[in-house]
């Protein structure tokens, strides 16, 4: 998934350490598993286009965001007025800039931070908070 529909991006197929090249970070390329991995071109889809294609309900119970650093890019233009999730788990992997961007976006769209786990933050929609 991506921020925009139809973007061509490079994905590094590095087993557990793979991801979009633009989000891997410089440290990742110090690892042979990343540096030597096959690179493939992918075409992005937006989360909304996938939900639309599959006739998803407007109110969805659960969303897990775990996209190796591109979580904010995926939801920054999300149609929160069209779809809502009761619970969202966002994997942050201690990337504070991405973590805080996701947090700010979700807080401004009716979610509250329920708890912080080791690698994830759990958000609950305001309709469940009480």
Q: Are strands 38-43 and 84-91 parallel, antiparallel or unpaired?
A: unpaired
The dihedral formed by the CA atoms of 75, 78, 80 and 81, expressed in degrees to the nearest 10: 170
Predicted confidence (pLDDT) at residue 31 exceeds the cutoff of 80: no
Helix ranges, the chain (H): 21-24, 32-35, 47-53, 71-75, 96-107, 126-129
Q: Is the pTM of this model over 0.85?
A: no
Examine residue 115 and state whether it is found in any structural domain, yes or no. Answer: yes
Predicted pLDDT at 33: 72
Examine residue 2 and state whether it is found in any structural domain, yes or no. Answer: no
Check residues 39 and 113 and name the one with the higher pLDDT: 113
Domains in the chain, number: 1
| Each residue's pLDDT tens digit, 89-103 | 998 877 788 899 999
Predicted pLDDT at 7: 87
Examine residue 104 and state whether it is found in any structural domain, yes or no. Answer: yes
Q: Hey, is 88 helix, strand or coil?
A: strand
Examine residue 1 and state whether it is found in any structural domain, yes or no. Answer: no
Examine residue 3 and state whether it is found in any structural domain, yes or no. Answer: no
Residue 74: which domain range? 8-129
């Amino acid at each position: 998934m991506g921020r925009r529909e139809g973007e061509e991006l490079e994905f590094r197929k590095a087993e557990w350490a793979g991801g979009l090249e633009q989000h891997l970070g410089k440290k990742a390329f110090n690892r042979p598993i990343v540096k030597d991995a096959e690179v493939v071109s992918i075409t992005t889809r937006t989360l909304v286009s996938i939900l639309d294609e599959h006739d998803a309900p407007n109110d969805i119970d659960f969303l897990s965001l775990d996209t190796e650093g591109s979580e904010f890019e995926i939801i920054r233009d999300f149609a929160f007025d069209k779809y809502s999730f009761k619970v969202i788990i966002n994997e942050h992997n201690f990337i504070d800039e991405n973590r805080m961007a996701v947090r700010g976006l979700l807080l401004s769209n009716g979610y509250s931070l329920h708890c912080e786990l080791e690698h994830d933050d759990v958000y609950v929609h305001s309709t469940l908070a009480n």
